[in-house]
Amino acid sequence: MAARGGRIWLPGPLSWRARVAGRGGICWVAGRARKRKSAFGSGAELREAALRVLDRHQNLNDLLLERSQSVMLLFGFQVEDAAKPGGQESVKNQEVSSESFTVSVLQEQALRLGVPAAILAAKNAVTNIERICQDSASPSEAPLLNLDQRKRLSGLLQTMKDLLANNVFCRSVFCQEMWKMKAPPVLEAVWHLHRGDVIGLGELLESSPSVPAAVEWLCGGLSGLCEQAEGTHGDEEVAGHVLSGKTPKQALQEGAERAAVRLDQYQSDFAIVFLQNGFQQTSELGRKLEFKKVPNICHAVLQRMLTWVLDAVGKEKQEDVSTSQAVRFWLNVFNVSLYKSVVHPDSLQQFFRHTLTEVLTYNPLLKVSDAIHMQKEWSFTRTCSLLTTLYRKLFVAFSAKESILQLQQVLETHEVNWQHILSCVSTLVVCQAEAEQLFRDLLSRLLIKAFENYDMENMITAFLIARQAALEGPAVFMPYSEWFKASFGNAGGHQGSSKKALVFLFEFLSELVPFEAALYLKVHIMYPPFVPTKHRSILLEYITLAKTRLADLKVAIEDMGLYEDLSSTDETVQSLPFATQTTVIILTLKEQTGKIIVTLDFSQHLPLVATRVIKPQGQALRDVEKALQIFENTRKIPTSVIEASIFRRPYYTSWFLPALLRPRVLPRTPDARMAFIDSLKRADKIPSNLYSTYMQACRAMKEKMLQDESKAETSPCKEPVEQLEAELAELRMLTVDEAKYEDVPAQIAVISDRLASVLGHSGDENGAATLNSPIQVDVSSPRLERGHQGVVDLLLTSFCQNLIAASYFNPPDRQGPCLSLLVKMMCGHRNLLPALLGRLCQLIYHQGPSLDDAHILGLAAFVIHLSESRALIPEVEASFGISQPVPGKVLSVSEYWNSLLVCRTEESFAFCLRFCTAAASYLMCKFSSCSHEDLCALFPPDLVKKLQYLVPRLSLEARGILCEEPKTDPIWSSLSQSSLNYRRASLCLWKQARFQELLKEEAFQLSFREWLLLELEVYPEKDILSASERQDFHHWAIYQRYLPAPSASGGCDGDLEKACGVIINTVLDSSQRLDLGGCVTSKMSIRPDVLCRLQEMVLELGCRPKSLSGCSDLRRHFLFEILQERLKDRKHGSALSEQLWRRQELLLHRRILVGLPASALIVTCRKGKKTMLDCEDFFHFVNSELKNVCSRGYALSYDITAHFFRGLLNASVGCEEPAEGVNNVLAVCQTKCPVLLFSAALWWPRLEPVLCSQWRRLFQAPLAEGLEQLRAGQSTAARFLSSGAVFQPSSPPWTSAAFLHCVLQQQSPCGRGRDVLKRLGTDVEQARQCISHLLISLLFFSLMDLISAKIAPKEGVDFQPSLEWSLEILQCLEERGTSWPLLFPSAENDPGKYHVLHSAASDRHIQLLPLAFYSLTPAFRPELLTREPTFLLVALDLYVQLLRLFVEGTDLPQSDQVGEVPDLAECGDPVELITTARRFLLGAIPRCPARSFGNIRSLVSVCEELDPELGVTLLHFSRPEAAMELEEELLLF
C-alpha cells in the first residue's frame, strides 16, 4: 500500500496530512481518493493498513517536525477559515486530534524501544534543537537564529508544551541531553525555552556538568548578543521589531514571516535569573535549595560581564566603535526599572553595591602619585562615557548619602582604582544635587580622622576628593582654594590644635610637592595655612620648597600676575581664535496642526574676535584690563604696575608690556588705553624701542585695514563654538522631554567643558580672592571683553529658546532643572560673568524698550535664575559714568539688574512693566509648590517693590484693595501667548492671593521713601501719565496709601510732619545723587509736582490750632529740625569733596525753603493773651548754616531774604497788633540775626516795593516802624551821597553802615569814596564815637567784599576796587586815631565788641580774614605799632592762621556754583602773600614796645613750629634786655 519514492497514499478521512494541508499545499491525495474506488472493504481495514505503513516507515524526529509544520499550517488555516461557519470548531478538533495522534505515536514508539515516552520525547527534542541550531549559514556560536530557524523552533516548542501537558516529556533528561550536544545551543533557543516555560534557565544551568563551561558559554553568548544587537541592519530590525515585549506566540500570531525577538528582553530575562540566583537573600534560600550550581554560575557570569565592561572602559580609545556599542548595550542590565517587583529589593541593593565596589576596586594599579598628577583628566566630561553611564545607572539604586557612604567604605577597606574613585566623585557631584554638602561632611570627617591619628591615607583621600570635586566648577562644589582656606586658613583649623598637628600638615604638603601641579602650589602659597608666629619657620620652609618646585615647572611666582585669578586649573590653554556673526537659531516644534517657529537674536553688534592666549599671557591680559580700570577711575598709574616695573621686572617686561602693547588700529580720539600707555612712556616705564615697535605695528595694521577694508576677518578654528552649539542643541532636546530630565546634569557638565574651551581657559574653579572682588560694569557704556559677546549671546539665546520650547509643552513648574542648572553653570565661569552682566546691561538698560516679547520673557526668567544663583556671583560695582550714585557702593546681582530697570519715560515704563510682570509670574509659576517662606527667600525684594510702584501707577483698578483669586491661573499662560497684554497680566498677578501675601512681608513692602525715589526719577515731560493723571496718582499714593499706613509697613502713621520729613529728605537725597541717565534738569531744581505736594502738606500743618503755652516752651520747628539733622551727622572736615557736598546741600535747603509757603518760616504761638511771632529756629538755621552759602559774606541771597520778609508780614496777620509783631521780630534780628538786616540793606531797592505793596494789601495801615527804619536807612544813605546832606547814623551803627556801604557800591564811582569819608568827619563832636563804629563797620563790609572777590569773582565784586576802598577806610581810621585791630577775631582778644559783625559773616569769610588783613599792609603806619598794644598779637595770630590755611590746603577758592573754581591767577599768589606777611612781621617785631610782647607767649611756640626764624625773632625780642640792647633801627618799609 506504500507509494513509491516515499510517498504514502492514504485516501479517506484518516489522511491527517490532507486535513491539515493549507492553501499553499497541493491536495492531490484527497483528489485521487474521490476518483478511485477504495480497495478496502471497511474503515477498520483501512486503519490497520495505515498503522502497518507507519510502523514500517515512521521516523519520530520527522514526526515531531511534521507536527511543527502542521502547527504552522494550522495557523494559516485558522486565519483563512476561522471566519467560516464552524471554522473555529473545526480547527480546534484538528488540533486536539493532532496532539493525541503525536502522543499516541510517541508512546507506541517508546513501548517498542523499551524506553519511557518522556525520556524518548526529551532526547528527540534535543536532537531537533541541535538540528535547528546547526542548520544555519552563520557560525554556530552566533547567539541569534535566522527566520527559518525561528519558525521551526516555534513549532517544536508548541509540541514540547503539548507533551508536557500530557506528562510525556522529561525536563531533567532534556537538560542533561542539552549539555551533550556537539555544540552549545544558540542563546536565543535557550531564551525561547525559558520564556515559553518549557525549560527554565536555572534548571538548564543546574544540570551543567561543568560550572566553568557553563559560565564560558553564557558569557560568550551574552557578549555576542550585545555585539550582534549593534551590528548589521537585519539584526537591528530583529532587535527592534518586538519592542512591546510580546511573547513569541504573540509575535507569531502577527505573522511568522515577520516574527522577531526583542534582544533586550533576553537580557532582562537572563539578568533577572542571574540576579535572583547570584544574590540570594536568606529568606529565599529555602525556596531555591534545589539549585546548588546556579548561584555560583550566575554570580560568575555577572562578574565576568562586569570585567568585560571594565576592560572596555580601560581600552576605550583603542577599541573600535562596535565594541563600545556592544558594552553600552549590556549596561541596560543595570536599569533598575527592569527588575521592578520580580527581584527582592535587598538582592537588588546587594547587586548594585557589589557592582559599585567591583568598579572602584578594579585593577588597582595606579599609585597615589599618579592620581595627584592625572586627576585633572578624570573629570566628568573627560571620563569614559561608558563608565559615567554605569555610575549614573548604579546611583539610581542609592540615595546620594548611601553612594558616598559606600564610597567611603570602599576607601577604608580595599585597595582602590584611583581613576575610578575620582571619576565616581565627579559623577556624583555633577549628577546629585545634594552631593556637595555630603562631600563637605565627608571631607570634614576624613580630616578629623587624619589629624586624630596622624594618618596620611585619610589626608591624601581628603585632598584628592576635594580637588576632584572642585574640578567640576563652583556651580556644583566649592573651589579648592576656598576649601583649603576654610580647612586650614584660620586658627580654628585642624592644624591649630598643636605643633604636632602643624608639623603633620606641612610634612604631608611637602610630600605632595614633587607631584603637585602649579595651580595647587600657588593656592598653598597665596592662601597659606594659619601658623602661629613662633612656628613661622615651618611655613617658610614649605613656601621655599613650593617655589623651588614652581621654578622646576618653569612657573615663576612673578608670573602669577598683578591681580592673580586662581580660578583656572588649566596650566596651558590652547588657542581659540574665532569670529562669530549674528547668531540666529530657529527652533521648530512640530505638532499636529503645523509647527511653531521661534527666532531669537541677541547679537546686534559687530562680529567678535577672541584672541588665543596661553598662560601667563592670559593672566597678563587680565592684569592689563584691571590696570586700565584703575587708571580710568584715578587717572594715575596703578601702584601695582609701578611696583611690578621695579620689583617684578621679568614679568613686567616679558608679559605685562606685550599684553598692553598689542598692535591695534588706534582711535582718532585717544582712549583710556592710549592715555595709560602715554603715562607709562612719560614715566620711563616703557622702553623706547618697544614703544617704537608698537607704534609701527599699529600704523601697519591701519594701512592693512585701509587696503582691504571690505575683507572680513576669518577664523581658522570655529570648532569649539560649533561644539558648544551642538551641545546646547542637545540640551534643548532634553528640555522638552520629561523622560530625559535625569540626563540634564550630565549634559550641563559637558556644556560647561565646551564653554571653558571657548572662553580660552577653564572656569572650573573660582578662587576666594576673585569671589571677594566686585565685578566692575560701566552701565553708561558697557564694554565686553573681546570674544565673549558672541558666547554670551549664544548662551542667552539657548536659554530663551529652551524656556519657550519647554513652556510650549509644560508650565514652568514642570520643566525640570534644566534652566536653573544652565544658569548656575554660567555663574560658575567667573571669567564669563563680566561679559554676561555687561550684556544684560546692554539689553535691559540700553535696548530694553526695543526688545520683543520673546526676548523679554527669556531675559526675565534668566534674571530670576540669576538671582537664584546669587551665592555664586560676586558683588557688582556699577559705574554710571560721570554720574555715579554713591562712590564705592557695590550691589548684589539682584540689586544690579533692578538698577537697570529705570522708569523715566513712557517707553521705559512699558518695558519695566512687561519685564517685571514676566519675571514675577515666572517665579511664582516655577516655584508654585514652594512654601510661603521659601517663596519669600526666592523672590528678589526689589522686584516686588518695583511692581508695587508700577502696577498702581499704570492701573486704576490696582489702587483699591483687590485680592480676588481668579478661577484660572492665566499669568504665565497669558504671557506665553503671541499677543501679549501686559497690563492685563500685571493686574492678574496683582490680584493673586499669594502675591498679596508677599506684599504683607516687611522685606517686600515699598516704603514711602522708596516710592518717592522712584517717582523722582521720572521725566515729567516724557511721563506715561499726563500731568493730571500724575497728580491723581500722587494724591492716592500719599493720602490713601502712605500717610495713614503704619511705619512698620513703610507709612507715616498718619503724621503729616513725618510725611513732610520723608519728602524733604528724599528730595534732598535724590538731588544729591547725580542723575543716572544724564542731567536733564538742573541739579538745583526740585520737581514742581513733588514740591506742590509738600506745599499742600505744609499748609495743612499751618491750619493746626495755636499752642497755648509760651513760645519758649514750644519744641523746635519741625522743618529746620529736619534740615539740621541732615547736616549734624556729616563730618566738618576740610576735604574739598565734603565742602562741596555741604554747599550743595545748603543750596538745596534754600531752594526748598523758598518753594514752601513764606509763612512756614515763622512759628505763631500764644503768649498769655497775645499772639507772638517766633523766628528763633529760622534765625538759628541762618546763623549756623544758611549764611555759609552767601557769596557776599555778610548778606543772604535775594530769594531767601524776600521770602523771610514776606513770610513775616503774612504771619503777622494772626497777631492782634501786626505792626508790633513785625517790630519785635526786627528788633530781635539786630542782635540774634543781623545778617537778615544786612541782607535787607543789600537788596532793599528790590525789596521795598514788594514789602510796601504787601503791607498795604494786608493792613491798609502805615508801614510798621521796623520796616520804616529800614526804608529810612536806605533813603538817608542815598541822600547823603546824592545831596551832600549830613549823615545821621541810626542805632545800631552797623545797620547804617550796611546801607551806606551798599548804596556806595551801587551808586558811587570809585573816586568819590574818599570824599564821602571826609564828609563823615564833619559831624559834631558828640557823634564821633558813633562815626568810628560806622567806619569800622564800613571797613568790615569792604573786607567782606574783598574776600568775596577772591572766592566768588563772578558775583560782580572786583578785587582791586574793593582793596582800594578798604585802604581808604583804613587810612581814614588811622587819621582819626581809631582803634580797629580788634575787628579781626583772635583767640586772645574779646570777641564781644564786634560780635554782631562777626556773626553775620560766613564761616568761610571769617576763615579768610587773614588774607584780607595782610592785603592791607600798605596802609599800616609805623606809629600803629606803638599806639595799639594788641596789634602785634592780632598780626601774629592772623599770620599763624594764614600759614595753617596754606599748610592744610583749605585756602582753595570756591564759587557759589558747585563744581566751579575761579582762575587762581585772579586770586593772587598765596605764597607771595605769605612772604609779604612774613617780611612785615620780621620788620615790625623789633619796633614793637615791650608791652606788646606781654600777651603773645602762647603764640611763640606755634610760630617756632610753623616758622622757626620768626619764632626765634619773637623769642629774642620778647626778652626785656633785647629792647635795651637794640643798636640799630630796622626799617619797616
pLDDT at res. 1079: 40
pLDDT confidence tier of residue 5, bands split at 50, 70 and 90: very low
pLDDT at res. 48: 61
pLDDT tens-digit series, residues 875-904: 888 877 644 444 446 788 888 988 999 999
User: How many angstroms separate the CA atoms of 305 and 330, rounded?
Assistant: 8
User: How many angstroms separate the CA atoms of 1333 and 1369, rounded?
Assistant: 12
Q: And the C-alpha cell for 21?
A: 494541508
Phi-psi region of 1211 (alpha: psi -120 to 50; beta: other; left: phi over 0): alpha
Q: And the C-alpha cell for 699?
A: 600704523
Q: And the C-alpha cell for 1468?
A: 593772587
Contact by Cβ (8 Å): 1391, 1398: yes
Helix residue ranges, H only, 432-477: 435-453, 456-471
pLDDT confidence tier of residue 465, bands split at 50, 70 and 90: very high
Mean pLDDT of the chain: 77
Question: H or E segment at 1172?
Answer: strand 1170-1174
pLDDT at res. 98: 57
> What phi and psi, each to the nearest 5 degrees, are found at residue 794?
-65, -45
pLDDT tens-digit series, residues 953-1002: 998 888 874 444 444 444 544 454 433 467 888 888 898 889 999 998 98
pLDDT at res. 808: 80
Phi-psi region of 440 (alpha: psi -120 to 50; beta: other; left: phi over 0): alpha
Contact by Cβ (8 Å): 1505, 1443: no
pLDDT confidence tier of residue 1292, bands split at 50, 70 and 90: confident
User: Any idea which of 347-351, 1085-1089, 1412-1416 has the lowest mean pLDDT?
Assistant: 1085-1089
Q: Which residue has the higher pLDDT, 1343 or 1499?
A: 1343
Phi-psi region of 1078 (alpha: psi -120 to 50; beta: other; left: phi over 0): left
Contact by Cβ (8 Å): 1510, 1478: yes
Spell out the residues 6+ positions from residue 485 whose beta carbon is closer than 8 angstroms to its own: 527, 768
pLDDT at res. 557: 65
pLDDT at res. 1025: 92
User: How many angstroms separate the CA atoms of 766 and 333, rounded?
Assistant: 39
User: How many angstroms separate the CA atoms of 1282 and 1265, rounded?
Assistant: 25
Instruction: State yes or no: pLDDT of 446 exceeds 90.
Output: yes
pLDDT tens-digit series, residues 1128-1169: 866 554 567 777 888 888 999 999 999 999 988 998 888 878
Q: And the C-alpha cell for 624?
A: 592689563
User: Any idea which of 507-521, 564-578, 862-876 has the lowest mean pLDDT?
Assistant: 564-578
pLDDT at res. 568: 47
pLDDT at res. 19: 33
Q: CB 558: neighbour CB atoms within 10 A? A: 16
Instruction: State yes or no: pLDDT of 13 exceeds 50.
Output: no
Q: Which residue has the cell 572596555?
A: 312
Question: What three-state secondary structure class fits 608?
Answer: strand
The answer to whether the Cα torsion of 132, 138, 141, 142 is positive or negative is negative
pLDDT at res. 885: 41
pLDDT at res. 616: 57
List the helix and strand counts (H, then E) for the chain: 72, 8
pLDDT confidence tier of residue 317, bands split at 50, 70 and 90: low
User: How many angstroms separate the CA atoms of 818 and 808, rounded?
Assistant: 15
Contact by Cβ (8 Å): 522, 561: no
Instruction: Please indicate, yes or no, whether the overall pTM of this predicted structure exceeds 0.85.
Output: no
pLDDT tens-digit series, residues 1490-1511: 888 877 877 888 888 888 888 8
* CA 732 to each of CA 61, 170, 432, 750, 858: distance values in angstroms, whole numbers, following the listed order: 59, 58, 21, 14, 14
pLDDT tens-digit series, residues 544-581: 898 888 888 887 665 565 555 444 444 433 222 222 22
User: How many angstroms separate the CA atoms of 779 and 1075, rounded?
Assistant: 13
> Of the candidates 557, 472, 492, 564, which has an alpha carbon nearest to the alpha carbon of residue 772?
564
Instruction: State yes or no: pLDDT of 533 exceeds 70.
Output: yes
Across the range 765-775, mean pLDDT stands at 55
| CA 874 to mean position of chain CA atoms | 7
Question: What three-state secondary structure class fits 580?
Answer: strand
Q: And the C-alpha cell for 708?
A: 582691504
Q: CB 1371: neighbour CB atoms within 10 A? A: 16
User: How many angstroms separate the CA atoms of 504 and 498, rounded?
Assistant: 10
The answer to whether the Cα torsion of 341, 344, 346, 347 is positive or negative is negative
Q: What percent of the chain has pLDDT above 90?
A: 25
Contact by Cβ (8 Å): 478, 472: no
Q: And the C-alpha cell for 143?
A: 547567539
Q: And the C-alpha cell for 1194?
A: 555778610
Q: Which residue has the higher pLDDT, 599 or 924?
A: 924
DSSP characters over 36-88: S--SSSSHHHHHHHHHHHHHHH--HHHHHHHHHHHHHHHHHHHHHHTTSTTHH
Amino acid letter, 779: V
Q: CB 1354: neighbour CB atoms within 10 A? A: 11
Across the range 350-363, mean pLDDT stands at 93
Spell out the residues 6+ positions from residue 35 whose beta carbon is closer than 8 angstroms to its own: none
pLDDT at res. 559: 56
Question: What three-state secondary structure class fits 236?
Answer: helix
Spell out the residues 6+ positions from residue 1506 whose beta carbon is closer than 8 angstroms to its own: 1440, 1443, 1444, 1447
pLDDT tens-digit series, residues 127-172: 888 888 886 545 545 677 888 888 888 888 888 888 888 888 898 8
User: How many angstroms separate the CA atoms of 747 and 726, rounded?
Assistant: 11
Instruction: State yes or no: pLDDT of 338 exceeds 90.
Output: no
pLDDT at res. 1325: 55
CA-CA-CA-CA torsion for 499, 504, 510, 512, nearest 10 degrees? Answer: -150
Q: And the C-alpha cell for 1119?
A: 522743618
pLDDT confidence tier of residue 469, bands split at 50, 70 and 90: very high
Q: Which residue has the higher pLDDT, 265 or 276?
A: 276
Question: H or E segment at 96?
Answer: helix 87-113
Across the range 684-699, mean pLDDT stands at 89
Spell out the residues 6+ positions from residue 1038 whose beta carbon is closer than 8 angstroms to its own: 1059, 1093, 1097
pLDDT at res. 1458: 39
Q: And the C-alpha cell for 305?
A: 560581564
Work out the end-to-end distance of the chain between its first and last CA atoms, rounded to an integer number of angstroms: 170
Instruction: State yes or no: pLDDT of 631 exceeds 90.
Output: no
* CA 1409 to each of CA 1147, 1190, 1293, 1482: distance values in angstroms, whole numbers, following the listed order: 24, 16, 22, 20
pLDDT confidence tier of residue 762, bands split at 50, 70 and 90: very low
pLDDT confidence tier of residue 361, bands split at 50, 70 and 90: very high
User: How many angstroms separate the CA atoms of 1003 and 998, rounded?
Assistant: 9
Instruction: State yes or no: pLDDT of 591 exceeds 50.
Output: no
> Of the candidates 805, 935, 811, 933, which has an alpha carbon nearest to the alpha carbon of residue 864?
935
Local structure of residue 8 (DSSP, 8 states): B
Contact by Cβ (8 Å): 1349, 1468: no
pLDDT at res. 53: 55
> Of the candidates 889, 781, 774, which has an alpha carbon nearest to the alpha carbon of residue 833?
774
pLDDT confidence tier of residue 225, bands split at 50, 70 and 90: confident
pLDDT at res. 245: 34
pLDDT at res. 132: 86
User: How many angstroms separate the CA atoms of 1521 and 1517, rounded?
Assistant: 8
Instruction: State yes or no: pLDDT of 182 exceeds 80.
Output: yes
pLDDT at res. 1529: 45
pLDDT at res. 1280: 84
Contact by Cβ (8 Å): 836, 867: no
Counting every residue written for the chain, the total comes to 1533
> Of the candidates 435, 521, 519, 422, which has an alpha carbon nearest to the alpha carbon of residue 477?
435
Question: H or E segment at 587?
Answer: strand 585-591
pLDDT confidence tier of residue 1533, bands split at 50, 70 and 90: very low
Across the range 1110-1125, mean pLDDT stands at 72
> What phi and psi, each to the nearest 5 degrees, are found at residue 904?
-130, -40
pLDDT confidence tier of residue 1373, bands split at 50, 70 and 90: confident
Contact by Cβ (8 Å): 1275, 1248: no
Q: Which residue has the cell 551665592?
A: 871
Apex 1280 CA angle, 1276 and 1282, nearest 5: 115
Q: Which residue has the higher pLDDT, 902 or 717?
A: 902
Q: CB 1096: neighbour CB atoms within 10 A? A: 16
Instruction: State yes or no: pLDDT of 25 exceeds 60.
Output: no
Across the range 743-772, mean pLDDT stands at 71
User: Any idea which of 225-229, 369-373, 797-801 has the lowest mean pLDDT?
Assistant: 225-229
